């Protein structure tokens, strides 16, 4: 797993999911605007989900 994506997930959550679809990036941005923690949680969830799909 790329450590840069984990760091981005904590600093700027929408930047960590830029390899996803536009709607996913917008949702991450919206959650970050509502509060930093929901945006971080969503970004980490997407990173972990991508990792799980890669190993399956």
**Total structural domains in the chain?**
1
pLDDT at 1 over 90: no
4-38 pLDDT, tens digit each: 999 999 999 999 999 889 999 999 999 999 999 99
Q: Please give the residue that has the higher pLDDT: either 51 or 43.
A: 43
pLDDT of residue 26: 94
d(CA 27, CA 42): 9
Mean pLDDT of 41-53: 92
Q: At what angle do helices 36-55 and 22-34 cross, to 10 degrees?
A: 150
Of the CA atoms within 13 Å of residue 23, those in its CB half-sphere come to 0
Position 28 scores a pLDDT of 94
With a cut of 80, say whether residue 56 has pLDDT above it: no
> Which among 4, 48, 17 has a CA at the least distance from the CA of 28?
17
For residue 9, the enclosing domain spans 3-55
């Amino acid at each position: 797993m790329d450590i840069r994506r984990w760091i981005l997930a904590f600093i700027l959550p929408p930047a960590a999911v830029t390899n996803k679809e536009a709607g996913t990036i917008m949702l991450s941005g919206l959650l970050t605007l509502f509060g930093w923690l929901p945006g971080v949680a969503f970004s980490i969830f997407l990173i972990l989900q991508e990792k799980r799909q890669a190993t399956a």
